Every structure is written in C-alpha cells, then in structure tokens.
C-alpha cells in the first residue's frame, strides 16, 4: 500500500509544481501589481476601465473614483473597475492609429 502512495506522490508532486509556477504564482504577482497600482492612483491620472472606457481621474470618494471621459461628462466608478494606467506614449500611439485607419469603399 505504501508503494502505491509513493507512486501517487511521485506523479502528482511535479504536476503541482508545474501548476504553481505556470498558473498560481503569475496570477498572484499580477494581483499584487494591480493592487499597488490602484493604491497609487492620484487625481489627474489617465486610466482605462474594465469596460474599455478611457478617462482622467477627477477625485476619490470612499470606494469610488470620479472620471472625466469627455468635456462635461463625469462618471463615478468603483475603484476596482480601473484596470490600468494609460501612459502618454500609449495614448499618443492610440490616437495615431485611429487617425490612420481608412474606410473601405
């Protein structure tokens, strides 16, 4: 009986190690990175939400963030809905890409 248990552990230990290094550890690192980014947000930062909306942070209240997404358009969102900061370089590249697209016709 102990031989079967040893074989079982011998088989599953490497599988667990592979699972840990390929799935669990990267997910944990990504979650920590997102938490530090959310904690370091400040007024004036340009962000993107989980719904794909780009905006500039105007203020904070409790667990919400107020974004300005256009002139005279302000939206209150949960802080957890913010998925990333938008750098000026990425913002400029996005504007350049949208200006160079041609319609077929």
pLDDT per position as a tens digit, 51-62: 999 999 999 998
Top pLDDT among 92 and 36 is at 36
Element (H, E) at 21: none
Q: How confident is the model at residue 3 (pLDDT cuts 50, 70, 90)?
A: confident
Measuring CA to CA, which residue among 51, 34, 31 is closest to residue 85? 34
Work out how many domains the chain is built from and give that number.
2
Asked if residues 65 and 57 have their Cβ atoms less than 8 Å apart, the reply is yes
Assigned domain for 105 exists: no
pTM value? Answer: 0.65
8 and 50 part of one domain: no
3-class secondary-structure state, position 45: coil
Assigned domain for 87 exists: yes
- The mean of the pLDDT values for the chain is 85
52 and 96 part of one domain: yes
Percentage with pLDDT > 70 across the chain: 83
């Amino acid at each position: 009986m102990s031989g079967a248990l040893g074989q079982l552990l011998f088989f599953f230990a490497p599988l667990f190690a592979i699972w840990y290094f390929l799935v669990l550890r990267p997910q944990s690192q990504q979650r920590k990175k997102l938490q530090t980014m959310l904690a370091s947000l400040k007024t004036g930062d340009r962000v993107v939400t989980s719904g794909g909306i780009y905006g500039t942070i105007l203020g904070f209240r409790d667990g919400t963030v107020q974004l300005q997404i256009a002139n005279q358009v302000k939206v209150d969102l949960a802080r957890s809905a913010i998925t990333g900061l938008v750098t000026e370089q990425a913002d400029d590249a996005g504007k350049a890409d949208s200006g160079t697209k041609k319609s077929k016709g």
